[in-house]
Amino acid sequence: MKRKHPGTIKVFLRTISQMFALTNKRDKKTLTWLTLGSILLSIIETFSISMIMPFITLASSPDLVLSNRYGHAVYEALHFSSPLHFAYLFAFMLVGLYLFRMGYSLLFTYLYTRFSSHKAHDLAQQLFMRYLKISYLEHITMDANHTRNTINSKSYQVLESFGALIGIFTEITTVLFLYSMLVLTNWKMTLVLSVILILQVIFISKYVAKIIQKKGQAITTSNIGADQVFAKFFGNFKITKLKDKYLQAHSDFSQSSLSRAKIQTTTQTLQAIPTKFLETVGFSLLILSVVYVLHKYGDAKMVLPIISMYALVLYRMLPSISKILGCFNTILYSQHAITNIYRELKRPIQEEGDLPLRFSQNIILQNIYFAYRRSHPILQNINLTIKKGQKVAFIGPSGCGKSTLVDIIIGVLYPNKGTIFIDEKPLDSQNIRSWRQKIGYIPQSIYLFDGTVADNVACGSPLDEKRVIEVCKRACIYDFLCTHNGIESRIGERGINLSGGQKQRIGIARALYDDPEVLVLDEATSALDTSTETKIMDEIYAITQDKTLLVIAHRLSTIERCDVKIDLSQPL
C-alpha cells in the first residue's frame, strides 16, 4: 500500500511546533518582544501608506484643508498664513515619517536577524556538545559526514527558518492592517479581490510548496553526498594519487555538485513564482476594474480616488503576500533539517558524573559480558584482576575482543552484563568521568591536526609549556624539536611533516600530558619497524615504572617485559 504523506499545512505546522520546541524560556521572551515589535512596524507601515492619499489630495487642492474639520482645526491651532504652507509642513512631516519608518524597519531587521543567528549558533553548540557526549558505541556506528553536515549546515538552516517565521508574522500583521483600510474604503471590491487572491495562495501553497519541500530534502541528501566524496578521496589521498583516481574523483564530485546546482536552480525559480504571479494578477485586476468602469459609465473620475488607493495599498500588500509565501516555502524547505535537529536534541543521552574515584589497589572485572549485536557476543563471563602498577598484555587473534575488553576497562564502553570494581568500588555512570581522567591512551593511528606540537600534545587541555616540554623529553622527541622551532613547530595536517616514529612519540607525549595512572597501548607500535618499535617500547617501559600499563599487541617482542599476558582466545 502506498504510504500517504501528510499535507503541506500539516507539515508546516508540525515544523513550527518543532521550532518552538527548540527554544528556551529566554528565546520565547525574545520572540514575544519581536512579535510586539512586528505589530508596531505594521502599524507604522499602514499609517505611512494611509497618509499618501491625503497628501496627494492636499497637494492638488491646498484649499481643501479649510473645508476639512480636522484639517481646519490644526490649521487654526498652528496659525498658518496660507493653505500652501500647511501643505509644505505636511510634506516634510510625511518625509520624516518615512525616514522614521526606514530607521525602525532596519532596527527591527537587525534585532530579528541577531536572534535567528544566535539561535543557529546556540543549536550548533548544543549539537556539537551532544555529539561529544554520545556513547562511544553510538559514535562508531554514526556517519561522520551526517554529524558534520548537521552541525555546520542544518543548524544554520534554522537561522533562515526563524527569520522566515518572524517575517510571516510581520507581513501577515501588515497585510491585515492594510486589508482593514481597503475594507473601510470599499468592502465589495475588497471582497472580490480577496476571493481571487486567496484562490491564488491556495494554488501556490498546494502545488509549488510541495515541490519546494521535496527539494529541501534533496539538497540535504546532496550535501551529504558531497561530504562523502571529500572523505572518500581526500581521506585516502595517497591511494587517490597512486591509483590515478583524478577522473573518478572529479566525476563523483561533479555529479554531486551538479545535482545540488540543479536543485537550487529549480528551488529559487519556484520561490520566485509567488511574487511574479501575485503582482501580475493583482495589477491586472486593477486595470480591468478601470476598464469595467470606463465601459459602464464612460468616465473613471468617480472611482479614481478609490482605484488610486487600491493601487497604492496593493503595491505594498502584494510584496507582503509574496514574502509570506516565500517564508512559508523557506520553512518547508528547511523542514527536513529542523526535524533532524529536533530528533537529535530530544534523543536521550545518559548523563555521566565525575564523583571522586581512587585507584590505589586493583581493577577487578567480574562476569563481564559484551555484544555489539545481541546474537554475536564478543566477551562472555570475563573475570580478571589487574593490580596497580602491573604491566598487562592482551593477546589473541584478530576479532577475539582485545580492544573491546580494554575499552570496557578504561570506561569507553559499558558492559552489557557484569561489573568493574576500582579498589572494590563499582565503576558506574556516576564516577565514570573521574576514572577516564586517570587514563592515558595511545592508539595505533595517532591523529594529529594542523597546529603546533604544543597544541597537539595538550589536545584540548589547558596549555602548560613546561609540562609539554617535560613530556616531550620523556617521549624522546624534544631533541628533534629543538632542531626546528621547539614545541611551537608546526606539524601539518595529520602530522605530514613527521615520520611514523615521531608521530608515535607525539602520541606518547599526549598520553602522558595529564599524568595518567593507567597507560593503554592499543596496537600502538604495530605500524612501526622492529628497530623503531624496540626504542619506543624501551621508552614506554622506562616512563611507566610507577603506572599501570595495558598493552594490546600481536608481536611477542612488544609484550615480552609485561608481568601478565592474557590470551583472550582462552577462557578467563
- DSSP notation for 349-415: -----------SSEEEEEEEEEEEETTEEEEEEEEEEEETT-EEEEE-STTSSHHHHHHHHTTSS--
Of 159, 150, 99, 143, which is closest to residue 126 (Cα–Cα)? 150
Residue 2 lies in a domain: no
Closest CA to 411 of 490, 325, 258, 518: 518
Q: Are residues 288 and 396 in the same domain?
A: no
pLDDT of residue 26: 92
Which residues, 6 or more positions from 92, have their beta carbon under 8 angstroms from its beta carbon? Answer: none
Are 310 and 422 part of one and the same domain?
no
What DSSP designation does 462 have? P
**Cα 360 to Cα 321: distance, rounded to the nearest angstrom:** 72
Domain range enclosing 186: 8-346
- Indicate the DSSP class of residue 246: H
CATH number at residue 105: 1.20.1560.10
**pLDDT given for residue 104 in this prediction:** 92
Query: Which of 322, 346, 370 is at the close of a domain?
Result: 346
pTM above threshold 0.85: no
202 domain residue, yes or no: yes
* The pLDDT value given to residue 103: 93
Same domain, 366 and 342: no
| Element of type H or E holding 441 | strand 439-442
CB neighbour list of residue 110: distance below 8 Å, 6 or more residues apart: none
Query: Residue 411 maps to which CATH number?
Result: 3.40.50.300
Numbers of helices and strands, H then E, in the chain: 23, 9
Residue type, 257: S
Same domain, 372 and 246: no
Strand partners, 395: 567
Domain boundary among 315, 346, 377: 346
Domain for residue 248, yes or no?
A: yes
What is each CA distance from 114 to 39, 49, 170, 395, 529, in whole angstroms? 19, 28, 16, 57, 56
Q: In terms of domains, do 19 and 160 share one?
A: yes
In a domain, 267, yes or no: yes
160 and 200 co-located in one domain: yes
Is 356 contained in some domain? no
Residues 469 and 553 reside in one and the same domain = yes
Does any domain span residue 3?
Answer: no
548-552 and 391-395 strand pairing:
parallel
pLDDT at 447: 81
Q: What is the pLDDT of residue 1?
A: 42
Q: Are residues 207 and 320 in the same domain?
A: yes
Which of 346, 374, 391 terminates a domain? The answer is 346
- Give domain status of residue 353, yes or no: no
Q: Are residues 210 and 116 in the same domain?
A: yes
Helix then strand then coil, % of the chain, to nearest 5: 65, 10, 25
Residue stretches of the chain with pLDDT short of 70: 1-7, 64, 201, 204-254, 256-257, 260, 263-264, 267-268, 270-275, 278-279, 282-283, 286, 289-290, 292-306, 375, 526-528, 571-572
Nearest of 508, 500, 502, 501 to residue 489 by alpha carbon: 502
496 & 539 share domain: yes
Nearest to 340 by CA among 137, 149, 119: 149
Tally of domains within the chain: 2
Contact 563, 391 (CB under 8 A): yes
Same domain, 298 and 440: no
Are 17 and 130 members of one domain? Answer: yes
In a domain, 355, yes or no: no
Residue 415 has φ and ψ, to the nearest 5°, of: -70, 145
The β-bridge relationship of strands 564-567 and 518-522 is unpaired
